[in-house]
Structure 1
Amino acid sequence: MDFLNKLKDITTFVFDVDGVLTDGSVFVSEETGEQTRAFNIKDGYALQLAVKLGYNVCAISGSRSKSAIHRLNSLGITEVFIGARDKTEKFKVYLEERHLKATNVLYMGDDIPDLGVIQMAGLPVCPADAAEEIKAVCEYVSPIPGGRGCARDVIEKVLKVQGKWMNAEAYSW
């Protein structure tokens, strides 16, 4: 099945955090050592819209970023798994507990720890600046780098193909 046809079957979006929903930069407080990340507003708009439209939206991260939890929860994403040493196992559990099929999942990852999930997902995609090993196995490489709107890019593509882009729900946060 080609890329556009696969978009029609997507019901679930799963994203890595660092390097996908962020540009991979980490800001460290000199006083406390707390680490924070910057998130893209355009990605945020598309993520909250997907939640509002009834899609399953999840994030799986190897880092233990509290800022990621706060940001994603503020967008309505309650399935945020941080500190995932084995993303593939976390992905399997997520699918099993929610009775979801991998064939209906778009997964966006950018680096080697994402490879296992990328190989399982129905539609593996990555940002423009993903590792070469990841680009080689993804069905779509966004022209947009991580943390700069790549999540918006793929969510928008799915919603457009499914006829849900620019509907009444799209005009509010």
Structure 2
Amino acid sequence: MAKSYKELMNDITTFIFDVDGVLTDGSVFISNEGDMLRTMNIKDGYAMKAAVESGYNVCIISGGYNEGVRVRLHNLGIKDIHLGVPNKVKTFDEYTALYNINHEQVLYMGDDIPDYHVMKLVGLASCPQDASPEIKTISNYISHKNGGKGAVRDVIEQVMKVQGKWMEYFDGKNN
């Protein structure tokens, strides 16, 4: 019998996220100078920072490239940021080998076809509510939130709660 997504969350040590359509809503605003601007959800950022500070591995693998995205994610404490990636499986394999991460311990959140093959390799494949049908079909968990609208917060919070680390993180912050 296959494990439920909540059972799979017990084993997660590593979060890997796509950017466009996951950390953003997939919209791109183009300035007069030709810069492509994106928006990210503050709550997603807060959860990623909590995950990093709680000892989880957090990695970004995106086909898109934007230096502003890199700066934002770096400021959240994320060190493994791979932008402009033509082959996500190759980058995934290199990342997991570098840190000796078992694929079963990885939660990957993607939203579209470029994420498909890497999502087939992980312990817990997840996606935002507005992901493509092909991605929804292979996902163990489909967030009730859309990309860029809290889907990342949703999945991080759930994993940390299942593992008893969500409120532990905030209690340790002396808030």
Same fold (TM over 0.5): yes
Q: Secondary structure at the match of 1:14?
A: strand
How far apart, in 2, do the equivalents of 1:52 and 1:170 lie? 10
How far apart, in 2, do the equivalents of 1:72 and 1:6 lie? 26
Would the aligned equivalents of 1:53 and 1:169 in 2 still touch at CA under 8 Å?
no
Q: Secondary structure at the match of 1:124?
A: strand
Alignment match, 2:91: 90
Alignment match, 2:23: 21
Question: Structure 1 residues 152 and 171 mapped into 2: Cα distance closer, same or farther (>3 Å)?
Answer: farther
Q: Which amino acid aligns with 1:88?
A: V
Alignment match, 1:80: 81
Number of aligned pairs? 171
Alignment match, 1:8: 10
Pairwise CA RMSD: 1.1
Question: Structure 1 residues 133 and 162 mapped into 2: Cα distance closer, same or farther (>3 Å)?
Answer: same
Would the aligned equivalents of 1:105 and 1:123 in 2 still touch at CA under 8 Å?
yes
Question: Structure 1 residues 130 and 171 mapped into 2: Cα distance closer, same or farther (>3 Å)?
Answer: farther
Q: Which amino acid aligns with 1:102?
A: H
Question: Structure 1 residues 102 and 171 mapped into 2: Cα distance closer, same or farther (>3 Å)?
Answer: farther
Q: Which runs of 5+ in 2 are unaligned?
A: none
Quick check: 1:103 aligned with 2:130? no
Cα deviation, residue 170, structure 1: 5.6
Quick check: 1:38 aligned with 2:39? yes
Question: Structure 1 residues 108 and 170 mapped into 2: Cα distance closer, same or farther (>3 Å)?
Answer: farther
Question: Structure 1 residues 170 and 5 mapped into 2: Cα distance closer, same or farther (>3 Å)?
Answer: farther
Deviations 1:112-140 (A, max 9, x none): 00001110011000000000000001011
Would the aligned equivalents of 1:52 and 1:169 in 2 still touch at CA under 8 Å?
no
Cα deviation, residue 142, structure 1: 0.4
Cα deviation, residue 169, structure 1: 3.7
How far apart, in 2, do the equivalents of 1:6 and 1:62 lie? 27
How far apart, in 2, do the equivalents of 1:51 and 1:33 lie? 33
How far apart, in 2, do the equivalents of 1:58 and 1:98 lie? 11
Cα deviation, residue 171, structure 1: 5.9
Q: Identity rate of aligned residues, in percent?
A: 50
How far apart, in 1, do the equivalents of 2:149 and 2:174 lie? 21
Cα deviation, residue 56, structure 1: 0.1
